[in-house]
Structure 1
């Protein structure tokens, strides 16, 4: 009777929550319909602007307000397109202005765009071509426009709505609603024809669960206790028998297999479990889950928490990964996780799936990604999986996978998806162990990279998982460590943990300057990418680190291959060749570089994003912690006692840009790159197409490629002088606009 009452109460609460959720879903659908109406209204407004501007003659430039433009702040006629930004024209001319003028030259009128957004100088620019190669330009105030948009079009009762402009990223011009729901991608976007703008909508997150659930849970616990007491009482009246359960095995203590740096194992205390696998590729007890193919990326598995990734999905991924490992005759897997809010529960679900496939799992807990790679070599499991969102925004998470000492990428990642789709999964019961490898890692790094003198080092971990290890490691090496954001916090409250972006390096630069430190180090969210600033707080990009590391390694390994990616400086080839090595350029991507490194037995590899691989006296995986220690050792051992600033100043240098991102959806990126590769013309230059289009000129180079980690195009430029750099940029701008005239290229 009690169970019936409890079941009825639970059903009533569930129905109530379901009704609330249905109401919220219906409300969000209504909001989306409102957005379609808002987009239509804004399109009508833009078309009205276009028509009024098309009818406006050059003589009206003297008095645009009288012509009927109350929001106008300035209008004038330009006799030609300026060759570079200037303040000497009738309006301030930026690169964005030049792009608009070029677009107007090609199609008669440019798309609307806000110049200098989110500043007191913000204005809307309208540009059209006149006769005799002249141009009429008009600037509109944004304040009255903002009021009109909020009043007429951007009306919303819940969720968050924004008018955004596409540039290097989507930049929010005006926003209304709850911006705390904007952690993930918007569920609705509508591009506005005739402008570099879109509407983006994020719905209300979720419905609050009924407050009756806690009371129900307490009642269920009481009922369970009563049932147990009754069962215990009756069990004394009948013969006892042993019961064998199929529950998940409890962790057992794990004794490490100590392995020397030369990979020669010492006598082992580890018990190698025999496979507990039924080699029939089916698992009847797997509950169907909706797994989106979009999460299977080029280098890893990655998606948005809650919509693309969940605990049930992680369990099925564990089944598939465990099956693939056993297909390659591997039965033991290391599992670690980063400090994101969802990583612990995702790790538990992943482990459950791996065990259910028949693999034995060693859980090493919350550690940087390189420590999972280290453990897979140190314990000789040859397999490891990391639950990590890497440097992606807070709402993301994913998996990095190593099977049989190979980092999965490309077709291998897609193979995991195919296994799931075709239900080709093993069934078994694995053994779960737990281990702490942080101490072993630190001791081995100390043996390989001793420092000859102490250094004053600034460390910014961006609240990522590297903060759990880096301060301990550098202190153990004898450094005077000054910490920034080394407490692990999955909210990332201070800045995004991505040292590839200059804005994320500002804090460490300031710390180094203020404290007069020798060097500053920054790490990404999972600790496999390194950022560096010298003693003056200047950013040292990773391709310059590779130049220093290559020169050092090639002193001891003449003729060795050094691998680097297409985004890296052209000076690398010169430095490597001069030092007696073989320079090899390859596509970007840590797993692709790792594969090339193994193929050519390279002693060093790296890419501009900060992944650096050492195989001269380390294991050959990307390890930002070890790379930082190698850098500190080179500075400490410098025979001239130079600091980091002097050491890097002695390197050959060129003018270059950081990595530039042009936001574009994935399908559009593919179409653009196909057309650009086929149609772009760079006379007299060397064109390399191993990853996008890299064009080598006599005095520099430029690159455009489709990013494999975020939707968009990535670009980078380098030249001997600033003038050469600007000329190369302009050549790329012209060629890219011929393929897609409405691209926003503000670089």
Structure 2
């Protein structure tokens, strides 16, 4: 059930071939295991622990959260039931003085389908790592928990406290000379929460700041996700918020994933501000505040972004391995060895800032954008001027090539070794140093781009990214790759052929 640094499973029937494995009984045991792990980690008796738990809008959330609460309370914990919440808010329950929890659990499976659910865990040091999750699962499997007098269960409004903190940060950062309390007055900003947990942002953050949120959509929590997948990377979801911004004549649009650890934006023209553009925007803001800092991203970001960060902004672009925890941990490591890094962000929208506990927090990230939006309006400028010199690729595509061999990791590594050997025979292709996979620069004029192949973190899949700065370039790079890949065995390349 381990999914990197959290736990995920099938919580509801309804999808063929997916048997339920995240039952109430299992989650009760996982609640006990987390309490036991936290007790050992902090060297503190279980009955002296305070643990917060919240959930997103998934249909299975209420039952499974109740099961986790029962498990923790049965060992003597003081449990704070905070109801509907966001993943970053759950971490904040460990640092906000009015909560001061020793640990926290978020019931979510991010943007996965309605039948899935999961648990993300936090301590005051941040989100748990893979080894911590493995230990919790070991404790759950052993199932040996000491009997104790039942603990208490209390209900608290965490989102209100979390939202109030965002509001105060924005007010202080803008420091509007005429409307300190409402620095977004006169701006129309619409929110698309995708029927996840992010609907609070319109009513509890934007409206107190004076923004007109008319036209905001899908704010009501609904675990069937009837309108679109709550995922800023999803093309349908982004098209929906872009169309809404244009139709409403809004100044800005915001979109969140289910549990609000990711966000993206849309400018007044209905242009997407996600992936490389989002990274460029927040990098421009961070480098104004911290000149010369290192921006850590995942390995799939564009060459145009590198030129923008380094040549235009005077920063350092450090590509690292895919996976938001990998990117965050690398930024933390760089700071520890004396290389300042104030931002770690994936192209998926997971963005974490040093000033905010290196927490991947979609609401905090977009609050930084809102501050700059308000400042630009005060100065009579357009917010999008921040990335005016960013070179967008003409086209980019991602293909997922399925490994058919039984030993997927070993076969994937062999495919990439053969790819390197093939690239060495191509005079206008060259391997670029990378922390994972194979990244290749394509210098032929009618290709003018790059591609990258890596091993998926969780699936028997080789994701292939191709990007080009010229019309037809992606297709030409893809044609050359396809001719090579058809010579390999146990690899389904049909995605590249469509």
* TM-score interval for Structure 1 and Structure 2 normalised by the shorter chain: 0.7 to 0.9
Give, in angstroms, the shift of residue 453 of structure 1: 4.3
Q: Take 2:286 and 2:405, find their aligned partners in 1: how far apart are those partners? A: 39
Counterpart residue number, 2:436: 691
* Secondary structure of 1:739 counterpart: coil
Q: 1:477 and 2:477 equivalent?
A: no
Q: What per-residue deviation string (whole Å, max 9, x for no partner) do you get for residues 440-480 of structure 1?
A: 22221122123544321221111111113444311122211
Q: How does 1:61-210 map to 2 (within 5 A)?
A: none
State whether residues 299 and 589 of structure 1, in contact with CA within 8 Å, keep that contact through their aligned partners in structure 2: no
Q: 1:363 and 2:46 equivalent?
A: no
* Secondary structure of 1:513 counterpart: helix
Unaligned runs of 5+ residues in structure 2 are 13-19, 175-182, 336-340
Q: Take 2:464 and 2:87, find their aligned partners in 1: how far apart are those partners? A: 27
Q: What per-residue deviation string (whole Å, max 9, x for no partner) do you get for residues 296-323 of structure 1?
A: 1113211111411110000111111112
Q: How does 1:274-423 map to 2 (within 5 A)?
A: 295-306=1-12, 307-329=20-42, 331-378=49-96, 379-381=99-101, 383-423=103-143
Q: 1:436 and 2:147 equivalent?
A: no
Q: Take 2:145 and 2:296, find their aligned partners in 1: how far apart are those partners? A: 36
Q: Take 2:126 and 2:2, find their aligned partners in 1: how far apart are those partners? A: 17
State whether residues 530 and 542 of structure 1, in contact with CA within 8 Å, keep that contact through their aligned partners in structure 2: no
Counterpart residue number, 2:316: 582
Q: How does 1:391-540 map to 2 (within 5 A)?
A: 391-423=111-143, 425=145, 427-429=147-149, 430-450=151-171, 451=174, 452-454=183-185, 455-481=187-213, 482-540=215-273
Give, in angstroms, the shift of residue 586 of structure 1: 1.9
Give, in angstroms, the shift of residue 610 of structure 1: 1.1
State whether residues 535 and 643 of structure 1, in contact with CA within 8 Å, keep that contact through their aligned partners in structure 2: no
Q: Which moved more, 1:330-339 or 1:310-319?
A: 330-339
Higher relative contact order at CA 8 Å, sep ≥6: structure 1 or structure 2?
2
State whether residues 543 and 606 of structure 1, in contact with CA within 8 Å, keep that contact through their aligned partners in structure 2: no
- Structure 1 pair 338–654 and aligned structure 2 pair: CA distance change class (3 A): same
Give, in angstroms, the shift of residue 404 of structure 1: 4.4
Q: Take 1:550 and 1:441, find their aligned partners in 2: how far apart are those partners? A: 24
Q: 1:625 and 2:347 equivalent?
A: no
- Structure 1 pair 332–723 and aligned structure 2 pair: CA distance change class (3 A): same
Q: What per-residue deviation string (whole Å, max 9, x for no partner) do you get for residues 635-682 of structure 1?
A: 221275333555444423223425444566896753542222221132
Q: Take 1:732 and 1:370, find their aligned partners in 2: how far apart are those partners? A: 41
Give, in angstroms, the shift of residue 390 of structure 1: 0.7
Counterpart residue number, 1:135: none
Q: Take 1:528 and 1:444, find their aligned partners in 2: how far apart are those partners? A: 16
* Secondary structure of 2:81 counterpart: strand
State whether residues 439 and 453 of structure 2, in contact with CA within 8 Å, keep that contact through their aligned partners in structure 1: yes
* Secondary structure of 2:255 counterpart: strand
Q: 1:743 and 2:493 equivalent?
A: yes
Q: Take 1:458 and 1:411, find their aligned partners in 2: how far apart are those partners? A: 40
Q: Take 1:656 and 1:574, find their aligned partners in 2: how far apart are those partners? A: 17
Q: Take 2:440 and 2:131, find their aligned partners in 1: how far apart are those partners? A: 28
Q: 1:727 and 2:472 equivalent?
A: no
Counterpart residue number, 1:596: 330
State whether residues 301 and 398 of structure 1, in contact with CA within 8 Å, keep that contact through their aligned partners in structure 2: yes
Give, in angstroms, the shift of residue 346 of structure 1: 0.6
State whether residues 109 and 116 of structure 2, in contact with CA within 8 Å, keep that contact through their aligned partners in structure 1: yes
Q: What per-residue deviation string (whole Å, max 9, x for no partner) do you get for residues 30-59 of structure 1?
A: xxxxxxxxxxxxxxxxxxxxxxxxxxxxxx
State whether residues 416 and 437 of structure 2, in contact with CA within 8 Å, keep that contact through their aligned partners in structure 1: yes
Q: Which moved more, 1:390-399 or 1:688-697?
A: 688-697
Q: Take 2:258 and 2:297, find their aligned partners in 1: how far apart are those partners? A: 22
Q: What per-residue deviation string (whole Å, max 9, x for no partner) do you get for residues 53-112 of structure 1?
A: xxxxxxxxxxxxxxxxxxxxxxxxxxxxxxxxxxxxxxxxxxxxxxxxxxxxxxxxxxxx
Q: Take 1:669 and 1:471, find their aligned partners in 2: how far apart are those partners? A: 47
Counterpart residue number, 2:177: none
Counterpart residue number, 2:453: 704
- Structure 1 pair 696–355 and aligned structure 2 pair: CA distance change class (3 A): farther
State whether residues 325 and 404 of structure 1, in contact with CA within 8 Å, keep that contact through their aligned partners in structure 2: no
Q: Take 2:404 and 2:93, find their aligned partners in 1: how far apart are those partners? A: 37
Q: What per-residue deviation string (whole Å, max 9, x for no partner) do you get for residues 597-649 of structure 1?
A: 33333311111111111223x33211111212211221221275333555444
- Structure 1 pair 682–412 and aligned structure 2 pair: CA distance change class (3 A): farther
Give, in angstroms, the shift of residue 372 of structure 1: 0.8
* Secondary structure of 1:497 counterpart: coil
Q: Take 1:319 and 1:296, find their aligned partners in 2: how far apart are those partners? A: 17
State whether residues 87 and 260 of structure 2, in contact with CA within 8 Å, keep that contact through their aligned partners in structure 1: yes
Give, in angstroms, the shift of residue 502 of structure 1: 1.0
1:718 to 464, 467, 470: 467
Unaligned runs of 5+ residues in structure 1 are 1-294
State whether residues 309 and 315 of structure 2, in contact with CA within 8 Å, keep that contact through their aligned partners in structure 1: yes
* Secondary structure of 2:286 counterpart: helix
Counterpart residue number, 1:89: none
Q: Take 1:535 and 1:709, find their aligned partners in 2: how far apart are those partners? A: 37
Q: Take 1:672 and 1:387, find their aligned partners in 2: how far apart are those partners? A: 35
User: Cα RMSD (Å) of the superposition?
Assistant: 2.7
| Structure-2-length-normalised TM-score | 0.83
* Secondary structure of 2:118 counterpart: strand
